[in-house]
Structure 1
Amino acid sequence: MLRRLSLLCVLLILLEAGLGSVGAHAQVLRRPVPDKLVVLTFDDAALSHATYVAPLLRQYGFGATFFVCEFREPAFADKTKYMSWAQIRQLHRQGFEVGSHTLTHRHVNRLTQEQLGAELDSIEGRCHSNRIPRPVTFAYPGYDTAPTATTLLPARGYHLARAGGNRPYDPVTDNPLLIPSFSTSGPDTAKVLPALRQAQNGRIVVLTVHGVPDVAHDWVSTPPALFELYLRYLHDHHYTVVALRDLARYVNLPEAIRTIPPRYENLK
């Protein structure tokens, strides 16, 4: 009899723990995450984002986030390599999201909070001058993360921040200020298409794309023919393709930031 009671107690404890987990997940999620949900993000204000990428995205009806900065090398003033702010403003007018990538692409693990705040101020000021909404999403330069950023970003009104890591984003275990992503850089479709197929069972695939092509930093370039292949694949296989900000439809971001501990490992 005592053994049965002990077993019953254990079962009740396990059930209660399971229900608690379900309840926690329910608080983080506003609605179930559908399969085949993909986020497209583009880094570094490459000229091809305005001249080549945006027209293709509009053709397919896909959303996207463009994380902009002003590189010092090669200089942002070289408009054969980078977008102008007029072109960035046009991306906003076309319905795309403009996010912050710091002003000068400085890695946040090398910055004090004051220095990071100044970088954010500069991009926000340029957005304001060009009638672009103040950014609420952020991308880590070089995929380097740090507690400095995860402390400052929410205080400044940023709700989502993207890193690297080559794995899908799980909204119930990944803090939204440390969202992993897959890179499309290079000629290897064998890493991108399998990555897209991981958008299932509550996980979201976020892609990081640099220039298409990237003439400023050719080592992160995505070949145009492959980029078009990826877009056709997403379209033909009925994926939902959104900007990073759109994840707020599915995730209770303040609750997720509050309750999911930051994990800085495996995000490069």
Structure 2
Amino acid sequence: LTFDDCNKSDRAFVAGVLRKHGFGATFYVTEGLGFLRNKENYVTWEEIVELDRMGFEIGNHTRTHPHMPGLSPGEMRKELLHIEKRCKEHGIQKPTTFCYPGFGHSLSCVRELQRLNYLFARRGVGPEFKDGGRGGRGPAYDPGVDHPLLVPTTGYAGPDWKMKDLMWAVDQAREGRIAVLCYHGVPAREHPWVNCNPEDFRKHMDYLGEKNCTVISMSDLSLFVDPRKGPEDPYAPIRARMKREK
């Protein structure tokens, strides 16, 4: 269970709902978007510290929220190291998982994450599933197939992603596969295309509880998955899925 972009609701609303259910989660931190200028819509570092102290994982989502494939390896490294530095300044352990801003990724990104010893990284729903940018379905993560630095999103919240889509995502978590869910703001005040209404979110979490789902952070995948293992070609599983769907 993951939350991107440092929306104000992360601490103000989401954390309380998760604690009620005893769920783990990862909050992916960036100082991009409106983080530095708009504290009505984005959390403060003090609130990020509170999320950390509550037992949630703080993950890396880059300094400026750039399109990572457009950066050089050196620029990627600067983006990543900045958030690591900020976490250290606030007494938060070094992030070990990453989320690609805007779901943009490349082999160069994967290699840089490897050099910095990241364990897992979450991508979006594509290219296997079409992404209209307003919430959608994606593949389940198959640890025996997928590269740990290209973990697919099985569902991300938005106006076009409904309860039936959450139920579908949960149904994909079988035969060793893992459903990976992504939320942004609850609500997403600046980005309505990835909005989730608070009451819908409560219903989503209630459903996960009713289904007795094991709801964890990205880093806790290491309790079930060896992040050192993965295909030599990180993109081979994606190409194989695309080929099967043709």
* The one of 206, 209, 220 aligned to 2:183: 209
Structure 1 portions without partners, runs of 5+: 1-39
Aligned AA for 1:135?
A: P
2:194 match: 220
Deviates more, 1:121-130 or 1:75-84: 75-84
Distance 1:127 1:214 in 2: 24
- Structure 1 residues 137-216: aligned runs within 5 Å: 137-165=97-125, 166-181=138-153, 182-186=155-159, 188-216=162-190
SS in 2 for 1:76: coil
1:13 match: none
* The one of 213, 228, 231 aligned to 1:254: 228
- Structure 1 residues 96-111: aligned runs within 5 Å: 96-111=56-71
Contact 2:169 2:179 (C-alpha < 8 Å) held by counterparts:
yes
Is 2:194 the counterpart of 1:233? no
TM-score normalised by structure 2 residue count: 0.88
1:5 match: none
Distance 2:4 2:89 in 1: 21
* The one of 89, 95, 102 aligned to 1:135: 95
Distance 2:229 2:123 in 1: 20
- Identity across aligned pairs (percent)? 38
Max Rg structure: 1
TM-score normalised by structure 1 residue count: 0.81
Is 2:14 the counterpart of 1:53? yes
Distance 1:143 1:88 in 2: 22
Higher strand share: 1
Summarize the Cα distance change of 1:75–1:230 in structure 2 as closer, same or farther, 3 Å threshold.
closer
Distance 1:243 1:250 in 2: 12
SS in 1 for 2:6: coil
Distance 1:221 1:117 in 2: 30
Contact 2:6 2:35 (C-alpha < 8 Å) held by counterparts:
no
* The one of 60, 74, 77 aligned to 1:114: 74
SS in 1 for 2:167: helix
The count of residues paired between Structure 1 and Structure 2 equals 225
CA shift, 1:192, in A, is 1.7
* The one of 27, 34, 40 aligned to 1:80: 40
Contact 2:147 2:234 (C-alpha < 8 Å) held by counterparts:
yes
Higher helix share: 1
Distance 1:232 1:75 in 2: 30
SS in 1 for 2:181: strand
Contact 1:213 1:223 (C-alpha < 8 Å) held by counterparts:
yes
Q: Deviations over 1:90-127 (max 9, x none)?
A: 10100000000111110111111000000011111110
Distance 2:196 2:32 in 1: 19
CA shift, 1:76, in A, is 2.8
1:90 match: 50
Contact 1:127 1:134 (C-alpha < 8 Å) held by counterparts:
yes
